[in-house]
């Protein structure tokens, strides 16, 4: 494996307080120095993939036009080449702040220090099971902090609703019958909770449902809050049930499209054994 970058190199891309947070987590996985080099010991971590497959049969936002296409240019016994065409905001993806703000960062402008960071998971599976329109509240955030400690600046905060179990099922979007635009039903963040998390200096927000705004929201208010604060968002995550409330490290690296408002992302958590 490649040696872990030296602290001096990391300081060029991470602010000092972020470096301390990341170094504390990386220390959980770092093996003793060998010949003067620090190596990354993945045997001390469980890698959890939080990403749905990109595929033609993946659920797409109601009303999307041809959200995914994979054309075969060549496919033989010895080689294959395909042309991929897809919407930026399809399957597991990141919303760049530009998606909801004219002055927000585009894909290539998001700092790496926002995309690799300590993880906090807020669980509302019970509430979402009882109310498909459940929106995280500021009281939920405060309750989480009472049990697990304060949400530190620079954390990536994911909302575990349990909704990914409906992936590929009509219940995932919960669209009501009728002409488009359909009224949708799924849980996510509420505006007050989003504002509270922005005030705490979060790096990224994410959710295992189709959007950071609940399906029944009359407007994309949470999107606007995050865009104005330059906070990227992760949508259509999966596998959050395997994550602890705190103590893991998240890596969410979107496609680096110049000027992009979002795009597909591979999201991986490193959970200490």
Catalytic annotation, residues: 99
Distance CA 241, CA 139 (A): 22
Neighbours of 104 (CB within 10 A): 21
What is the DSSP pairing of strand 45-49 with strand 233-235? unpaired
Distance CA 165, CA 208 (A): 9
| Residue carrying structure tokens 């509240």 | 137
DSSP-assigned letters across all residues of 100-154: T-TTSPPGGGS-HHHHEEEEEEEE-HHHHHH-TT-EE-HHHHHHHHHHH----TT
Contacts of 118 (CB under 8 A, 6+ apart): 21, 22, 25, 152, 154, 155, 156, 246, 248, 249, 250
DSSP-assigned letters across all residues of 214-232: -TT-SS-HHHHHHHHTT--
Measured in degrees and rounded to the nearest 5, phi and psi for residue 47 equal -90, 125
What is the DSSP pairing of strand 116-123 with strand 68-75? unpaired
């Amino acid at each position: 494996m490649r040696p872990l970058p030296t602290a001096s190199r990391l300081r060029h891309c991470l602010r000092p307080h972020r470096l301390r947070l990341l170094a504390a987590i990386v220390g959980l996985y770092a093996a003793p120095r060998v010949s003067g080099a620090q190596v990354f010991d993945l045997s001390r971590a469980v890698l959890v993939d939080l990403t749905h497959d990109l595929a033609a049969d993946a659920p797409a936002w109601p009303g999307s036009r041809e959200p995914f296409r994979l054309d075969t240019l060549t496919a033989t016994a010895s080689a294959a080449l395909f042309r991929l065409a897809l919407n930026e905001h399809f399957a597991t993806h990141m919303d760049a702040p530009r998606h909801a703000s004219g002055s927000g960062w585009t894909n290539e402008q998001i700092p790496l220090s926002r995309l690799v960071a300590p993880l906090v998971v807020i669980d509302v599976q019970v509430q979402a099971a009882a109310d498909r329109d459940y929106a995280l509240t500021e009281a939920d955030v405060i309750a989480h902090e009472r049990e697990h400690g304060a949400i530190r600046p620079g954390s990536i905060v994911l909302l575990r609703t349990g909704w990914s179990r409906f992936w590929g099922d009509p219940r995932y979007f919960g669209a009501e019958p009728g002409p488009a635009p359909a009224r949708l039903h799924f849980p996510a963040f509420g505006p007050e909770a989003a504002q509270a998390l922005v005030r705490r200096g979060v790096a990224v927000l994410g959710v295992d449902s189709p959007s950071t705004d609940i399906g029944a929201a009359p407007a994309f208010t949470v999107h606007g809050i995050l865009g104005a604060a330059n906070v990227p968002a992760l949508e259509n995550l999966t596998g959050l049930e395997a994550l602890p409330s705190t103590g893991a490290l998240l890596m969410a690296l979107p496609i680096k499209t110049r000027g992009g408002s979002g795009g597909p992302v591979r999201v991986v958590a490193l959970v200490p054994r």
